[in-house]
Chains A and B, each alone.
Chain A
């Protein structure tokens, strides 16, 4: 889902500290990284990957590009993302943290207009188990190879660490994963939990989905809406963080008007449970619950 070993990938900001390190991870895990871009650094080669000055040039020289992984500093993300969309790239993975909200809004508008989509910002990215990774899930290729096992469970999470943890704990019990996605930690992301859950619905390799949610925003509630509307029908195992968080940092009247009673730990749990999702009381319970559900669906 989203990426496989035939996806032709560009890395923007490839000559920076993170870009360089993650280029190596992506390539060695099996991702077809065909080009890198850093304005002013055209002509260099990083990890055997040719570097170009602009995305257009990369497209012309290295052939069509399906996805771009962005590692530039947060203030430069908007420009990099618009450049990629303008050049015709349809999937972006925006790794950096602290991208201004209005910049994200502009990227959303540009992506919508061009039929493109993006994961992040503030994301570890997406990993199709055993085939390809966009971003930095696993950190190093040896870890990504030993932690994750191919199989039928999709993972979608608002926390990067929980994405890898959930996959690792499943693999330890012999349960494999299809695609792992960290949607990004910010309040506004390109493909939030509900969008990902819909993609998992149509992904033939995914039989069940593990979801890690958090307090704030309405993403989990929207997932519950999808289940109730019959638009997500596979088993969903949800685990939420933030039970002990102090309730009551009230953002504003507007936030309260928009969110109503939504956004709290309790409201999210009860909405998901009411819609028929399986709630895992702790991380350690996930493999047991998933294992049971997979057995049921086999019969």
Chain B
């Protein structure tokens, strides 16, 4: 779910004809003052952060004149509210309140439909009202094919005792709010409070809209940076991870940082789950084993090896982790050697300098485990692979044991560099990568293992070396599935002539500043 800031949400309200207070956005105290002068009279200065209960956290200030508005803005800008930094404030005319309502649209899994909610008890205490006196809240299940019709909205308002002119205007606002919610794919759209002013107007004093993550692709006008709902502003790494996920529709990669600022030796691990359920029970298992997780990652839905590789590189970029735990449900329907190859490429490149336990049960598990075993011989830190008969709990305990008994070597292990290619044969891949087969090395290769392990079978032998049997364009369009066989299988069982460069935008720069590589 992608939340919109108050000012963005309010701007959307005006597109359907719902009134909002006169005002504007300020990034500096001087701008706030200028706005207050323009508005005239008493104003409200509101920090733009994605939090409920902003008022209780001091995020909302009242000012009687432009000088006070300037002061209020100065005291808010640059501070933190919750984990969010205040970068902008909204300066708005203060309303003369006669009554406060709550008006909301939300998609409800129980009703299996959007539901319109209306209450006369608007304001910050709305949840308490809902819990304590549910009769003060009226709901209406919206028929998605008919929409919310004005008479239904009037019925809803009438249930709460509203009548007269007010009933008419409420019958107008709620259908407009629903039309907007529908248009922008809002999972929830709420106006709280919806103010009835002393001169009889309905004005949205606050508004909160949450967009369905899955629909962000068709809501390009909303300018949503990351289609994820975090309880903190997106971190640098989260932004990098989102760039990886954004344009790659093969499988899912979800990354969220749960802990930062920890140090080596505190028992915090990088966590790599596969599948929502399996990921969750594996994380539960890590906690039960006394480990803390730095992040939550899910790579699932049959992702290509390249996506798993990028996920692993991002996980390993978190400074101070003491271990790496990759674990899913245990019996996956997807081919697990793809994940094994992705992990191995990352582990070899970095290289892995903390113990890793990788639990990859499911299809192709024997192959996956054999690869991990071979790869372990090339790594400075212990790497152990487990399969479907090994419970997540046991694997988490094993990782803890490995971390406890592990002493990192004094000298930094050298990382695996891009192999030099004397006679490079190159082609590009769908996610911006490049495959390089060094035909000089390939010529001496006995196994030619790339040919039989290339998942889509696009490599053929020509004059004793592997070449594409499809065009370069086809390979780039996704013919090469980035299965990583021509690098990982080649490194472990071939002559080391194959290599993939898979760029991760921003990661190098991040590692340079964070001191991890």
Contact = CB atoms under 8 A, between A and B. Distances in A.
Interface residues of B, number: 73
Contacts of B388: 165, 168
Given A75-B218, A102-B215, A252-B52, A165 B182 contact: no
B210 A252 contact: yes
Contacts of A100: 185, 212, 214-215, 218
Contact of B329 (A139, A164, A244, A284): A164
Contact of A253 (B108, B112, B208, B300): B208
Interface string A102-124: 10011011000000000000001
B194 interface: no
Interface in A142-175: 143, 147, 157-162, 164-165, 167-169, 172
Interface string B359-401: 0011100000000000000000000000011011100000000
Contact of A161 (B113, B117, B277): B277
A264 interface: no
A255 interface: yes
A161 B275 contact: yes
A98 interface: yes
Mostly helix, strand, loop or mixed at chain B's interface? Answer: mixed
A57 interface: no
A136 B275 contact: no
A109 B131 CA distance: 30
A243 B283 CA distance: 9
A150 B283 CA distance: 31
Contacts of B145: 106, 109
Nearest to B182: A102
B214 A73 contact: no
Contacts of B107: 101-102, 105, 187-188
A218 B286 CA distance: 26
A53 interface: no
A222 B117 contact: no
B130 A257 contact: yes
Interface residues of A, number: 67
B144 A109 contact: yes
B144 A106 contact: yes
Given A244-B284, A255-B188, A102 B144 contact: yes
B210 A251 contact: yes
A254 B117 contact: yes
A214 B276 contact: yes
24 contacts: A98-B213, A98-B252, A101-B215, A105-B114, A106-B144, A109-B145, A124-B333, A139-B334, A143-B362, A159-B275, A161-B275, A168-B388, A187-B107, A246-B231, A248-B231, A251-B188, A253-B104, A253-B126, A253-B127, A253-B192, A255-B188, A257-B126, A258-B108, A283-B391
Interface of A: 18, 73-75, 97-102, 105-106, 108-109, 124, 136-140, 143, 147, 157-162, 164-165, 167-169, 172, 185, 187-188, 192, 212, 214-215, 217-219, 222, 241-246, 248-258, 260-261, 282-284
Interface of B: 1, 52, 102, 104-110, 112-115, 117, 126-127, 130-131, 137, 143-145, 182, 185, 187-188, 190, 192, 208, 210, 212-215, 217-218, 229-231, 249, 252, 258, 274-278, 280-281, 283-284, 286-287, 300-302, 328-335, 361-363, 388-389, 391-393
